Chain A
Amino acid sequence: DAGVIQSPRHEVTEMGQEVTLRCKPISGHDYLFWYRQTMMRGLELLIYFNNNVPIDDSGMPEDRFSAKMPNASFSTLKIQPSEPRDSAVYFCASSTVAGVPYEQYFGPGTRLTVT
């Protein structure tokens, strides 16, 4: 199994630009989570989906952030417009009801730098 796949691995952009992060969960997994990790705040859950439906987006910082999951094998997290305070590592994770409860498998992350 290829594991959770994220792209790009690194993104450097200027303030005000649109950023799109991509995630392919493990095949057969029915939960998908988007996290942001910083030194100050640790791992923060932004949004998660169950069977492609957003369940909880209370962690999305503001309207500049949006996430979609058009099908079971693809999700995007978009930031528009980006700001320097959005600089962080963004992780995608997936899990399955058939596995260990709550165990989440993480992708390699996207390191975003907004200048």
Chain B
Amino acid sequence: EDKVVQSPLSLVVHEGDTVTLNCSYEVTNFRSLLWYKQEKKAPTFLFMLTSSGIEKKSGRLSSILDKKELFSILNITATQTGDSAVYLCAGGAGNNRKLIWGLGTSLAVNP
């Protein structure tokens, strides 16, 4: 059965810290790995990765995919309170647009 596992489930840090969120996947006909951020509302898209070793960056956030070891990491540097959210990882498979979702990592950034 396809699955996506995220770790840790929750994390509490102080502003300015750097965090690394983990996502491992077992997805048949894997095509892409996506990261979403969910504050107290709907998930919003952050990154999509399809190739190993190529880092995607957006400001203080960056992500990389390892297709050999079947995992991805999301790094957030110099964290701010506005980064507090649940970060969701999802695997895209085949041509059907379906995503397999992890349970998420709940990140709390304290001032």
Using a CB–CB cutoff of 8 Å, the interface residues on chain A facing chain B are 31, 41-45, 48, 50, 55-56, 91, 95, 100-109
How near does chain A come to B44, taking the closest CB pair, in angstroms?
7
Stretch at the interface among B65-73, B75-83, B94-102: B94-102
Question: Can you report 19 residue pairs joining A to B where beta carbons are below 8 Å apart?
Answer: A41-B103, A42-B102, A42-B103, A42-B104, A43-B88, A43-B101, A45-B101, A48-B97, A48-B98, A101-B50, A101-B92, A102-B31, A102-B32, A102-B90, A102-B92, A106-B43, A107-B42, A108-B42, A109-B42
Q: Is B11 an interface residue (CB 8 A)?
A: no
Taken together as a complex, chains A and B put the C-alpha atoms of A27 and B17 apart, in Å, by 41
Assess the A100–B48 pair: CB atoms within 8 A.
yes
Assess the A50–B97 pair: CB atoms within 8 A.
yes
Which chain B residues border A91 with CB–CB below 8 Å? 42-43
How near does chain B come to A24, taking the closest CB pair, in angstroms?
14
Q: Total A-B residue pairs with C-beta atoms closer than 8 Å?
A: 53
Q: Is B108 an interface residue (CB 8 A)?
A: no
Question: What number of B residues sit within 8 Å (CB to CB) of A?
Answer: 21
Using a CB–CB cutoff of 8 Å, the interface residues on chain B facing chain A are 31-32, 34, 41-45, 48, 50, 88, 90, 92, 96-99, 101-104
Assess the A106–B44 pair: CB atoms within 8 A.
yes
Taken together as a complex, chains A and B put the C-alpha atoms of A42 and B102 apart, in Å, by 7
Assess the A56–B42 pair: CB atoms within 8 A.
no
Assess the B42–A106 pair: CB atoms within 8 A.
yes
Assess the A56–B88 pair: CB atoms within 8 A.
no
Assess the A95–B97 pair: CB atoms within 8 A.
yes
